[in-house]
Chains A and B, each alone.
Chain A
Amino acid sequence: MRTVIKSSTGQLRLNDKSDDFYKLHLKEGIRPDGRMLMEMRPMVLNVGSISTASGSSLVKVGNTTVVCGIKAELTEPNASHPGKGIVVPNVELSPLCSPKFKPGPPCDQAQVVTKFLDNLIQSTNLICLDDLCVENDKLVWILYCDLICIDYDGNIVDASVISLMAALQNVKLPEVKINEECESVEVNLKCTATLKLCSCPVSTTFRVFDRSNIIADPTSMEEELTEGQLTIVTDQQGRIIYMERPGGVTLQEEHVEKCMKRAVIRGAEVQTLYMEVTG
């Protein structure tokens, strides 16, 4: 019953039938892939898989796969913040991961997820940027966090946050000293330290189908059928550190509250996964 038609733009679009197909499932309180409405997809997390990067991770949420590599470099600090290091996230959604994306400059969605991660890093003081400073006004660390989606099946935000966090926990920075006599930088690769993280956020995304049905962790097909996205990011204390819902349908407050509770539970689950993987 799930028929796929090709529109004039070559974009894959689901036929109207799939809408009914989905409704029939929801009536029974189950989704086409066998999950309950609030159930998440199984997750696989692997860290340190890229040996040439300072920190790396690979995460699979259902079929959505994201690889994150972090490269640490030394640079001159920003003049407005001479004592702070710099973190630059970048999300790439290439045509490799889904026919939705075209080659060329980053699409809107990639830019929005990038900004989301940037906001998360800035607003929650995720990393103590003072720790990334080697010498005030002279030398700081800059962390380039590149996230590449290799398979897109919805919910890129959650997968990106998990992979970014796991990669950051995996980062090892060598000891750096400035030799003042000859003004050269000495890097001691034998002596490395892990990055100190101030908080450990986990994001959970929900979408709304037909105003009243809320589903967690949507797949790519569900993203096309539903409108209105709600992303809640929680920290290890169960506080809300970021929440985003750009438009869509109006939601009842009790629904939002239900989502918050679910996000806290999911947060705890992912925290234990982080612990298991990073040790």
Chain B
Amino acid sequence: MLLSTLSEMKCKQNVLKSTDGSVEFSQGDTVVLVGAYGPADCKESKQDVKEAIVEVNFRPKIGIPGIAEKYLEQFVKGVCESCIQRSLHPRTTFSIIVQVIQDRGSLLSCAINGTSMALQDAGISMKFMPVAVTVALKHKEEVSMETDCGTEDYDVIFSPSLEEEEKAFANLTLVFDSVKSELVSTYASGPMTSFQYQQCLMSAKNVSKSIVQFFRDSVSKKLAADVL
């Protein structure tokens, strides 16, 4: 799969002055601003003697955070817990603040990719960088007899927009490890067979590699700009 199948990504690191690491990340029309702090001081009642704890705060565009944000928070938190080398910093906390600027679909993957870049910007030691891909499965509107013989009667859409997410029969967000391309987290909803799931997994894995390349490119661009 080529990157052109994904919606265009933009990444601007170090956009906020007082955070340890920050990034403005956009995937198509979905934009998030992520700030990361850590390892920082931690309240005694929350401390963990063995490893650092991770806190994630999701801020919606308008209004106060509700259960939808809580759900996304625990997902991003789970991903961060698995990628950050927490045992290096016992009794401390890492906090990540995700501000949604515009949500036009694939919010979860945009937030995870943004968080990944923010952690990188903050120079936090990680085992790997999480890379998220959102996939939507949609029934083909017209089954054309010429292109394929009906083995696949659905389309796979990467980084779907809100409208595409609504029309799709299944939505998946898959998070991969940037080093070994192993699956870290999964979010899948909608009826699908295990074969369809495997197919999505394979194609999303390929796409994740191009996102890793995008991460590399944007970091080297930033470094090049710093040198000049």
A-side residues, CB < 8 A to B, are 8-9, 108, 111-112, 114-116, 118-120, 123-124, 199, 227-228, 230, 235, 237, 239-253, 256-257, 260
B-side residues, CB < 8 A to A, are 44-45, 67-68, 70-71, 73-75, 77-82, 171, 177, 180, 182-194, 197, 201
Flag if A247 contacts B190 (CB, 8 Å): no
Flag if B45 contacts A243 (CB, 8 Å): no
What are the nearest 3 A-B pairs in CB distance?
A247-B78, A246-B78, A115-B71
**Cα–Cα distance between A243 and B198 once the two chains are bound (Å):** 13
Q: Which residues of A contact B192 (CB under 8 A)?
A: 239-241
Also in contact, A119 and B189, with CB within 8 A (given A8-B44, A247-B82) = yes
**Dominant SS among interface residues on chain A:** mixed
Please list 15 pairs of residues, one from A and one from B, whose beta carbons are closer than 8 Å in the complex, sorted by A's number.
A108-B73, A111-B67, A111-B70, A115-B68, A199-B191, A230-B186, A244-B188, A246-B79, A247-B78, A247-B184, A247-B185, A248-B78, A249-B82, A250-B177, A253-B201
Also in contact, A247 and B81, with CB within 8 A (given A112-B74, A242-B189) = yes
Flag if A114 contacts B82 (CB, 8 Å): no
Residue B71 contacts which of A8, A116, A250, A256 (CB distance < 8 angstroms)? Answer: A116
**Cα–Cα distance between A242 and B186 once the two chains are bound (Å):** 10
**Cα–Cα distance between A244 and B186 once the two chains are bound (Å):** 5
| Number of A-B contacts defined by CB within 8 Å | 100
Flag if B187 contacts A243 (CB, 8 Å): yes
Closest to B197 in A: A240
**Cα–Cα distance between A235 and B81 once the two chains are bound (Å):** 31
Flag if B78 contacts A239 (CB, 8 Å): no
Also in contact, A9 and B45, with CB within 8 A (given A118-B67, A253-B183) = yes
In whole Å, how far is B65's beta carbon from the nearest beta carbon of chain A? 10
Residue B82 contacts which of A241, A244, A248 (CB distance < 8 angstroms)? Answer: A248
Residue A240 contacts which of B68, B75, B185, B194 (CB distance < 8 angstroms)? Answer: B194
Closest to B43 in A: A9
**Cα–Cα distance between A120 and B187 once the two chains are bound (Å):** 12
**Cα–Cα distance between A120 and B188 once the two chains are bound (Å):** 11
Also in contact, A239 and B186, with CB within 8 A (given A111-B67, A115-B67, A116-B71) = no
Flag if B74 contacts A124 (CB, 8 Å): no
Q: Which residues of B contact A242 (CB under 8 A)?
A: 188-190
**Cα–Cα distance between A70 and B152 once the two chains are bound (Å):** 41
**Cα–Cα distance between A111 and B70 once the two chains are bound (Å):** 7
In whole Å, how far is A170's beta carbon from the nearest beta carbon of chain B? 24
Closest to B79 in A: A247
In whole Å, how far is A158's beta carbon from the nearest beta carbon of chain B? 17
Closest to A260 in B: B194
Flag if B71 contacts A112 (CB, 8 Å): yes
Q: Which residues of B contact A244 (CB under 8 A)?
A: 186-188
Q: Which residues of B contact A119 (CB under 8 A)?
A: 71, 189
